[in-house]
Structure 1
């Protein structure tokens, strides 16, 4: 863990204070000193890490100079603490976390103590990163801070590229912010030639794997990368420090809160719908600065529409969170018997007294574990309430992305093969939900006991059927394996348009696109070059399909100095359609990968992409 954790070292943690707190004439870092509890001496190489994976090593004086934009104003900040060799780890608390909670404040100090290990007798072995830290102490004053600006840009569009990793031979690791910038200041390396290994998902590394730069105070360098991905990564939507380095450099940024909003450090799985003249956003589990356990009962925010005070989706999303008295995201579905509640299928529908907002939900943990149903938004309370619960005879699960079209709300399962009339009353009666399926009406998928509907000639009958299970790729394959159907009878048979290779879907998000006059689906492949990090696009004339050809547009497979990453629950935003450009996002997280090097600030957050539908690489997917 100590070898490669994206450690912010030396003066890289120090800010241009005028860019962070414009009114303050000066701003000093918060000094954390780790000491030996027996001798009172400094403890070098202790690792402290925030909830959003920003990691630091104490220097030879046992110090860390903490001045992280956004978190300095957040109040309590939790630090995981990992003791170096020769010391005992802090005891776990009641939730199994090892760490301390501090309140970083400009110019203040804090101390914490580690107990020496009486049984330790080995000679320590140091990594390159640890050796660098032992030789180069943090600078604990911001007076001399003059960073070197590194800007990484997409060669085709000239736009800054977020999420580019630069690593020195010492193991110092940096990641570009949403504008593609790094504010680099390492006193020991300024004025010297420094080779940076450069890696980014979906981009080619420069020849030789990186670039040699000579950082100078207030200097700058521009690096261009060639994109492999068909889609272009635009920015991070959620979390802390979205434009951290740009703020350090005093650059203009598009967001009202570029460093921290709603005290959110991480958010899982998005759903979004237009509701009463605004975009309404919904997420799952949400991380906060003060402790590793955050909000597990759904978080929400609203944003203004472009043309009504909102940003163009090319620029960003100004999120206005629903918060509690602490300033952190409030529980949007305070289910009395649920400890963890996930929601999805968000859509605006017609009610007796006007537009209403509904979403599907599932209780994941608590006394009501296993409960599923539909919730409706209470505008006056600004929270969701149960509309209906699904009983045992309900055969259609609503757990995917939703899109409203032609009087229906379509739900991805992972294809958009479930639909409900876009009326509040219709959602109250699960028996009337429909799915496009080959099973007999009113039945559920039950493996080899599943009942397939066939006509008098033995042909499978596909159609919209009430209270009947839709089929995922995996379920269809099980029917084929059991001899209940043949592969040639599949309705949706998604394959790579270039190779003809079958694509198994894990998740999908579909909507109608006026520019192409067809339905478009952004989907996660299962068991691709990375397990859940490969994103594809497919198209069909109708929501039910058939969906046949697809093209990969985003990859998160291991390359260079990068390990596999997950990018799951991708969400297509038809609301943002702009001619030939479409927009989608997904959850960037190490889950399901075995990757033990999460990206600081980015991990467990949403990242936005843009795709130009006129790209010739997509020509073969469009309906003929």
Structure 2
């Protein structure tokens, strides 16, 4: 009664009710867990931020027993006798509730890298945000390349706050070469976005033609005439996903934009032929000749690792795609959709992270890991390291440039979106953004992939 009277007094005085602090942590290591959803029996929905926090402010939930269903895409709690997965607790204004969740994924969720309100719940609880607001609300798949003494980050279609239609000419930012000091949550990356004269995040690939400009195959390579150059492959898009023009583009340091270098294919030309797509990687053959391999995830073509080798189509060579990996669990084929390949000094092997095509339970949300002696394969047994409950996680990208060379783990990110899922309900703030994961390569659960 006393607590209820206190709440009534605060409300009548026009004062805000102090929220209840809910902390969601990994039971194994105590790390904060972002992207865990709590839902009440009257369908109020709350999602933990990058600090693993929820600021519960709804007064009807205070000072009574409340059931919260728990959903965490690979994190959760034990089901009760009726099959419900959740907890019952009694929130209070100004109180604290700690929820320990079990990690069922092999990969550990580190946090969201893009979008708004990454520490919004922490701020509601009186804490300071560990990341400044960039104005970006959502963005599609990431590309990363070393550019001098910095990292150059690029994303596809980007959502802003002011209107449903955002930026469709790719957005970009720079960071230090190693922008993450510690690979545990909470974390954030201080992106320095390219902006227009009004300070708004702008497009950096204004290739002439109607529709969005999507980039792929971005890499910095040596040019005999001008040092090193940042290059990429562009696609002009009509409708939802249809290309009508594909070509090569280069970064103009003066205008700070990608500009068309050469058209490779236009609608009506027939077969496209070889196209440098995906996340490029450098590789030396037995004669020590250096090549750039392009593929998504596995290499499909190569060219000499020079600007001249990249721009001249007669220098390109087809690479035979290896068979799909087999599941370490049951031997079934695991057909890749998109992903990336990288050399790993700790394993002294090539490693891959990829989204499974038509996986279960999510058609484009099941993430697998495999190893090989060569980037061209064949790939060993694949182990699922990340799952989603009716949600998509596509275009995952390993970040070898972010981790120390002797690290016993890798980190990878991908696009978390309700797109291509079965009528999924978009997750507030997280939807259509990039989420970073850590995979410890000495985890016993990966033993089958190391055989």
The equivalent residue for 1:496 is: 327
Gaps of 5+ in 1: 1-135, 438-470, 472-490, 558-563
- Is 1:317 aligned with 2:145? no
Aligned partner of 2:49 among 166, 174, 177: 177
Q: How does 1:563-602 map to 2 (within 5 A)?
A: 564-578=390-404, 579-602=407-430
Report if the CA contact (8 A) 2:324-2:336 is conserved: no
Q: Secondary structure at the match of 1:549?
A: coil
CA–CA separation in structure 2 for the residues paired with 1:522 and 1:140: 55
Aligned partner of 1:387 among 242, 247, 261: 261
CA–CA separation in structure 1 for the residues paired with 2:430 and 2:440: 24
The equivalent residue for 1:551 is: 383
Q: Secondary structure at the match of 1:426?
A: helix
Q: Secondary structure at the match of 2:445?
A: helix
- Is 1:541 aligned with 2:373? yes
Aligned partner of 1:419 among 302, 309, 313: 302
CA–CA separation in structure 2 for the residues paired with 1:247 and 1:140: 25
The equivalent residue for 1:353 is: 226
CA–CA separation in structure 1 for the residues paired with 2:28 and 2:12: 41
Superposed CA deviations along residues 51-92 of structure 1, whole A, max 9, x for unmatched, are: xxxxxxxxxxxxxxxxxxxxxxxxxxxxxxxxxxxxxxxxxx
Offset at residue 405 of structure 1 (A): 3.9
Superposed CA deviations along residues 204-240 of structure 1, whole A, max 9, x for unmatched, are: 3344321122222221111111111000111001111
The equivalent residue for 2:278 is: 400
Aligned partner of 2:90 among 214, 237, 240: 214
Report if the CA contact (8 A) 2:66-2:90 is conserved: yes
CA–CA separation in structure 1 for the residues paired with 2:391 and 2:70: 17
Report if the CA contact (8 A) 2:336-2:354 is conserved: yes
Q: How does 1:463-474 map to 2 (within 5 A)?
A: 471=321
Q: How does 1:131-146 map to 2 (within 5 A)?
A: 143-146=15-18
The equivalent residue for 1:364 is: 237
CA–CA separation in structure 2 for the residues paired with 1:141 and 1:396: 69
CA–CA separation in structure 1 for the residues paired with 2:163 and 2:150: 31
TM-score, normalization: structure 2? 0.88
Q: Secondary structure at the match of 2:369?
A: strand
Offset at residue 402 of structure 1 (A): 1.8
Superposed CA deviations along residues 164-200 of structure 1, whole A, max 9, x for unmatched, are: 1101111110000011100111122222221111111
CA–CA separation in structure 2 for the residues paired with 1:142 and 1:362: 55
Q: How does 1:204-283 map to 2 (within 5 A)?
A: 204-208=76-80, 209-255=85-131, 257=132, 260-261=133-134, 263-283=135-155
Superposed CA deviations along residues 592-618 of structure 1, whole A, max 9, x for unmatched, are: 112241101011111000000001111
The equivalent residue for 2:5 is: none
Q: CA distance change for structure 1 residues 318 and 413 in 2, over 3 Å: closer, same or farther?
A: same
CA–CA separation in structure 1 for the residues paired with 2:12 and 2:254: 49
Superposed CA deviations along residues 538-579 of structure 1, whole A, max 9, x for unmatched, are: 11111111113110000013xxxxxx0010111111112341
The equivalent residue for 1:477 is: none
Report if the CA contact (8 A) 2:120-2:129 is conserved: no
Offset at residue 252 of structure 1 (A): 4.6
Q: CA distance change for structure 1 residues 310 and 230 in 2, over 3 Å: closer, same or farther?
A: closer
TM-score, normalization: structure 1? 0.65
CA–CA separation in structure 2 for the residues paired with 1:184 and 1:595: 27
Aligned partner of 1:330 among 189, 202, 214: 202
The equivalent residue for 1:125 is: none
Q: Secondary structure at the match of 1:188?
A: helix
Superposed CA deviations along residues 468-519 of structure 1, whole A, max 9, x for unmatched, are: xxx5xxxxxxxxxxxxxxxxxxx42410012111111111201111111111
CA–CA separation in structure 1 for the residues paired with 2:371 and 2:48: 33
CA–CA separation in structure 1 for the residues paired with 2:13 and 2:402: 45
CA–CA separation in structure 1 for the residues paired with 2:97 and 2:66: 12
CA–CA separation in structure 1 for the residues paired with 2:303 and 2:416: 30
Q: Secondary structure at the match of 2:220?
A: strand
Q: CA distance change for structure 1 residues 405 and 248 in 2, over 3 Å: closer, same or farther?
A: farther
Report if the CA contact (8 A) 2:304-2:315 is conserved: no
Report if the CA contact (8 A) 2:324-2:335 is conserved: no
Name the structure where strand makes up a greater proportion of residues. 2
Q: Which has the larger radius of gyration?
A: 1
Q: CA distance change for structure 1 residues 213 and 142 in 2, over 3 Å: closer, same or farther?
A: farther
Aligned residues: 421
CA–CA separation in structure 1 for the residues paired with 2:13 and 2:149: 47
The equivalent residue for 2:32 is: 160
Q: CA distance change for structure 1 residues 141 and 293 in 2, over 3 Å: closer, same or farther?
A: farther
Report if the CA contact (8 A) 1:267-1:284 is conserved: yes
CA–CA separation in structure 2 for the residues paired with 1:395 and 1:142: 67
Q: CA distance change for structure 1 residues 389 and 140 in 2, over 3 Å: closer, same or farther?
A: farther
Report if the CA contact (8 A) 2:137-2:429 is conserved: yes
Offset at residue 394 of structure 1 (A): 5.7
Offset at residue 427 of structure 1 (A): 1.4
Aligned partner of 1:603 among 428, 431, 435: 431
Report if the CA contact (8 A) 2:354-2:396 is conserved: yes
CA–CA separation in structure 2 for the residues paired with 1:541 and 1:147: 54
